[in-house]
Amino acid sequence: MANLTSMSGFLLMGFSDHRELQILHALLFLVTYLLALTGNLLIITVTSLDHHLQSPMYYFLKHLSLLDLCFISVTVPQSITNSLMNNGYISYVQCILQVFFFIALASSEVAILTVMSYDRYVSICRPLQYETIMNPCICRYAVTAVWLAGGLSGLMHTAVNFSIPLCGERVIHQFFCDVPQMLKLACSHEFINEIAVAAFTTSAAFICLVSIVLSYVHIFSTVLRIPSAEGRTKVFATCLPHLFVVTFFLSTAGFEFLQPPSDSQSAMDIMLSIFYTVIPPTLNPVIYSLRNEAIKAALKKVLSKGEFAQRKMYLKTILNSKNPYK
């Protein structure tokens, strides 16, 4: 530890010092990562290839899956590598990049979930105006705003966090460069700017949560007036898991970011970080998409041998037509 912490980087303590537990953690994270990778890649592929899945809802789902894929890739592969190599060292530049992309992608995810809830509100509560309100131009602007807002949030946190003077050994009791844990390394009263930025972004996340809840309140009130019990059950089965995941993600992340920094190590900090870094990207493909009948039908179509062969022949024809030597 003395050799590592004397360098310019940081030492990530991870979950345990015991080698057996490190291997177990790496295997569990590897399985979880592969599940998240497979689920999100399938959704991105099917929503890109199937012409029947080009509505705004599936357009937003595709970007949510892309965000989830990037989000879990920021922290989990590094943690797996550290556990397998029994080396928690991370360089200063790597830590900067990890903090930036983590905050940026988390903020973008909150924003895209808010947009998706509004899309469902317009679809169910104002169906006659849906095509006008959620036209392709508006959808592109919304997605662009989502990515830009996330990038701005990541930039603010990164700039403020890494301008704070650090005191003592650069040991982070976490499996990634987590901002709340890094604040414990700050010199006394030097982290007030980061607290202000965190409070601002948390307030924005709270506004998003309120917007999501209000959207679903309107949705539920409209659904309760539907005479068909089957229709009500279908909407509730879709919306309630959405609302649970959003609330779960924001509440655990908000609690972790807003609790006052302390010098004591807590296992609860690591557990909370798993709740908002690993679980949502893994469950979102199941809750938001793979329970959708249209998505499942499109997956069967894309993965079938006939469809795969047809697309392979189509791509081969395009490549041959562009080859000037044939």
pLDDT at 17: 75
Of 27-41, 200-214, 248-262, highest mean pLDDT: 27-41
Least trusted range by pLDDT, from 28-32, 185-189, 312-316: 312-316
Q: How far apart, in whole angstroms, are the C-alpha atoms of residue 70 and residue 251?
A: 21
What tokens appear for 14 in the block? 């991870």
Provide the sign of the torsion angle of the four alpha carbons 202, 115, 97, 286, taken in this order.
positive
pLDDT at 29: 92
pLDDT bin (cut points 50, 70, 90) of residue 67 is very high
Q: E strand or H helix at 32, and its extent?
A: helix 19-49
Mean pLDDT of all residues in 80-92: 87
Mean pLDDT of all residues in 197-212: 85
pTM: 0.84
What tokens appear for 77 in the block? 């592969």
CB 169 within 8 A of CB 10: no
> What 3 state SS string does 251-279 have?
HHHHHHHHCCCCCCCCHHHHHHHHHHHCH
pLDDT at 325: 42
Mean pLDDT of all residues in 276-283: 88
Q: Give the full edge-to-edge strand order of the sheet including 89-90.
A: 89-90, 10-12, 171-172
166 class by beta-carbon count within 10 Å (0-12 exposed, 13-18 middle, 19+ buried): middle
- Closest residue by Cα to residue 32 from 309, 242, 231, 282: 282
What tokens appear for 294 in the block? 């249209």
The DSSP bridge partners found for residue 172 are 12
Q: How far apart, in whole angstroms, are the C-alpha atoms of residue 78 and residue 282?
A: 17
Mean pLDDT of all residues in 19-48: 90
pLDDT at 2: 46
Mean pLDDT of all residues in 201-222: 88
DSSP state of 142: H
pLDDT at 170: 83
